[in-house]
């Protein structure tokens, strides 16, 4: 990865805020280049922060950074608190004295696709070797730092580590199929051998979370010194197969056997005529309210330790949520149910007064939802790709209609890349008719005064010049990549979350062009 050295003045830049005119890029950590199968928190991440700084950018937005779940999705994690252990940099462990240089050689080569299976196979052996070295010397320099980390995070860390340990001891089944004493967390009924094995295995997961936290704090400090803030992503719902649900079953609408009575999703929309059947359990908002939303406030406290701002995924669900009877074949069978509404955000405001939130308010938006967003002065999202078709909010996605208090995007991780969208080279069959495609192209070309040759830069220019306080561009759009670089296709389970940068793609020329447009848009710090 090539990048200019940061401007010497960058170290004096003030902390970014969503209330100041600025811009940034969207890139998940797994998409960074480098060996070992997936991107991580090491040298390539710091070089990317350098690139953003040199290009005049104030924000690096990511997807959720928890352990990947089914289909390697960051949105179906086994924990909404833990960090993804595959993001731990082995190179940094060499620098920290926990591995030797030969340990990190010969791993999966850097490529255009993440290889999670190869990364797990390669990294797990090295992480366990680092754990053995850490454990063998109780006086090494890491122990004091580890004890501080554990004291700060033990409330969620013990549950997560024990959950992961039990899943390893019983890999053939999820927690719903465990013996009753394990499923219900009746620790006193556990046999001594299970307790011993689980306890030993859990300690390893304490260690990997310590490594993730240590490397995360290093990356955040590196980015902050260059005037780059981090934007995180908090999914509203959590995976059924998670320590979150196993450890706090009373927070969720489950039957007596622990299985969901209703599950989550969204009704038919732009992405799918059958809607999307996510399958997450719904919350018992009444139980959470009785405890002043303690679990959610802890979750946001963890996010605030990692990020300067947080995107609340599926903000609509805080006002109303699509409730689908368990066992349904599609999301069509659902109905709208109430969310916690303003009461929840009052509690969040009291606890996290300084935490900046972005409302992902895309989808079936009603006046109730926009009123909730605006009551708490949360910036919503404007996606330029949605401005030229039949979306019910298309007019509001046109840059001349943006309010200042919003975050503008060319596209998101759930959309095709801008070039892919414009050329329709990777659309799902039937997603858009030929007539719709041609109409959207014509509307885009006319509005942007574009000849279509560099449609991605024309759309980037439009959001950077818009009145939106914040503008975010997916890196795939900066590079002008087609549908092969798409990150996710909603409603599909294979081939997602795999796109990666190649080391040579972020060039000085690209950074200079982005810097020029950022300056022209009045978005330099």
| Strands 262-266, 320-325: pairing kind | antiparallel
CA atoms of 391 and 427, how far apart (whole Å): 17
Residue 209 confidence (pLDDT) above 80: yes
Strand order in the sheet with 262-266: 276-281, 262-266, 320-325, 335-338
* Catalytic option among 124, 391, 414, 424: 414
**DSSP symbol at 428:** P
CA atoms of 208 and 83, how far apart (whole Å): 9
* Catalytic option among 360, 361, 458, 498: 360
C-alpha Rg value of the chain to the nearest Å: 23
Q: String of b and e for 388-397 (b: at least 16 CB within 10 Å)? A: bbebeeeebb
CA atoms of 360 and 318, how far apart (whole Å): 11
**Which phi and psi (to 5°) does residue 500 adopt?**
-135, 150
Q: 111-120: per-residue pLDDT in tens?
A: 889 999 999 9
Containing 312, the helix (H) or strand (E) segment is strand 309-312
Residue 505 confidence (pLDDT) above 70: yes
Q: 17-30: per-residue pLDDT in tens?
A: 999 999 999 999 99
Q: 263-276: per-residue pLDDT in tens?
A: 999 988 766 788 88
| HSE toward the beta carbon, residue 278, CA cutoff 13 A | 25
Packing angle of the helix pair 142-169, 192-225 (nearest 10 deg)? 130
The reported pTM is 0.94
Task: Give yes or no for a contact between 211 and 130, defined as CB atoms under 8 angstroms apart.
Answer: yes
Residue 393 confidence (pLDDT) above 60: yes
Q: 224-234: per-residue pLDDT in tens?
A: 999 999 999 99
pLDDT of residue 13: 64
Q: Which has more confidence, 345 or 106?
A: 345
pLDDT of residue 3: 40
Q: Which has more confidence, 137 or 152?
A: 152
**490 SS3 class:** coil
**Which phi and psi (to 5°) does residue 409 adopt?**
-135, 150
Residues in the chain: 525
CA atoms of 107 and 118, how far apart (whole Å): 8
Q: What is the average per-residue pLDDT within 142-149?
A: 94
Q: 62-105: per-residue pLDDT in tens?
A: 999 999 999 999 999 999 999 999 999 999 999 999 999 999 99
pLDDT of residue 5: 37
Task: Give yes or no for a contact between 441 and 448, defined as CB atoms under 8 angstroms apart.
Answer: no
Q: Is 313 a catalytic residue?
A: yes
Residues 6+ apart with CB under 8 A from 92: 41, 42, 43, 215, 218
**Which phi and psi (to 5°) does residue 82 adopt?**
-75, 160
* Catalytic option among 313, 323, 416, 440: 313
CA atoms of 500 and 481, how far apart (whole Å): 12
Q: Is 294 a catalytic residue?
A: no
Q: Is 200 a catalytic residue?
A: no
**74 SS3 class:** coil
pLDDT of residue 431: 63
| Strands 262-266, 276-281: pairing kind | antiparallel
Residue 252 confidence (pLDDT) above 60: yes
Q: What is the mean pLDDT of the chain?
A: 93
Listed residue (362, 509, 506) closest to 25, CA to CA:
506
Grade residue 11 by pLDDT with cuts at 50, 70 and 90. very low
Residues 6+ apart with CB under 8 A from 398: 387, 447
- Domains annotated for the chain, with CATH where assigned, are 8-520 (3.20.20.80)
């Amino acid at each position: 990865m090539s990048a200019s050295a940061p401007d010497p003045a960058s170290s004096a830049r003030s902390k970014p805020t969503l209330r100041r005119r600025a811009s940034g890029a969207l890139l998940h950590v797994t998409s960074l280049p480098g060996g070992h199968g997936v991107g991580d928190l090491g040298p390539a991440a710091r070089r990317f922060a350098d690139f953003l700084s040199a290009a005049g950018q104030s924000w690096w937005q990511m997807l959720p950074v928890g352990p990947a779940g089914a289909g390697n999705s960051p949105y179906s994690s086994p924990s909404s608190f833990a960090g993804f252990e595959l993001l731990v940099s082995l190179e940094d462990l060499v620098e920290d004295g926990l591995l030797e240089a030969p340990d990190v050689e010969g791993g999966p080569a850097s490529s255009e696709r993440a290889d999670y299976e190869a990364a797990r196979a390669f990294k797990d052996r090295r992480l366990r070797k680092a754990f053995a070295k850490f454990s063998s010397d109780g006086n090494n320099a890491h122990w004091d730092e580890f004890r501080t980390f554990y004291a700060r995070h033990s409330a969620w860390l013990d549950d997560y580590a024990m959950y992961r340990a039990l899943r390893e001891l019983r890999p053939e089944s999820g927690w719903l199929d465990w013996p009753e004493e394990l499923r219900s967390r009746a620790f006193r009924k556990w046999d001594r051998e299970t307790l011993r094995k689980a306890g030993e295995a859990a300690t390893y997961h304490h260690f990997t979370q310590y490594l993730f936290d240590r490397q995360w704090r290093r990356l955040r400090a590196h980015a902050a010194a260059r005037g780059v803030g981090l934007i995180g992503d908090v999914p509203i719902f959590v995976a059924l197969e998670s320590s979150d649900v196993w450890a706090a079953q009373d927070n969720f609408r489950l039957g007596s056997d622990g299985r969901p009575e209703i599950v989550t999703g969204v009704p038919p929309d732009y992405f799918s005529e059958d809607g999307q059947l996510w399958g997450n359990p719904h919350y018992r908002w009444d139980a959470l309210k009785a405890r002043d939303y303690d679990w959610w406030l802890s979750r946001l406290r963890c996010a605030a330790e990692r990020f300067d701002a947080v995107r609340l995924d599926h903000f609509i669900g805080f006002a109303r949520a699509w409730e689908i009877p368990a066992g349904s074949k599609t999301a069509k069978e659902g109905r709208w149910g109430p969310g916690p509404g303003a009461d929840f955000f009052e509690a969040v405001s009291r606890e996290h007064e300084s935490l900046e939130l972005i409302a992902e308010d895309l989808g079936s938006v009603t006046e109730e939802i926009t009123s909730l967003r605006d009551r708490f002065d949360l910036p919503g999202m404007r996606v330029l790709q949605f401005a030229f078709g039949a979306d019910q909010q298309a007019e509001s996605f046109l840059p001349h209609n943006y309010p200042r208090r919003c975050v503008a995007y060319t596209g998101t991780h759930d959309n095709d890349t801008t070039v892919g969208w414009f050329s329709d080279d990777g659309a799902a069959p039937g997603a858009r008719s030929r007539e719709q495609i041609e109409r959207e192209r014509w509307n885009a070309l006319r509005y942007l005064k574009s000849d279509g040759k560099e449609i991605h830069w024309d759309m980037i220019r439009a959001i950077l010049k818009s009145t939106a306080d914040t503008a975010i561009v997916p890196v795939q759009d900066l590079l002008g990549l087609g549908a092969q670089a798409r990150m996710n296709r909603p409603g599909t389970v294979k081939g997602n979350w795999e796109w990666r940068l190649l080391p040579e793609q972020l060039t000085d020329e690209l950074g200079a062009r982005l810097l020029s447009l950022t300056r022209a848009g009045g978005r330099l710090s």
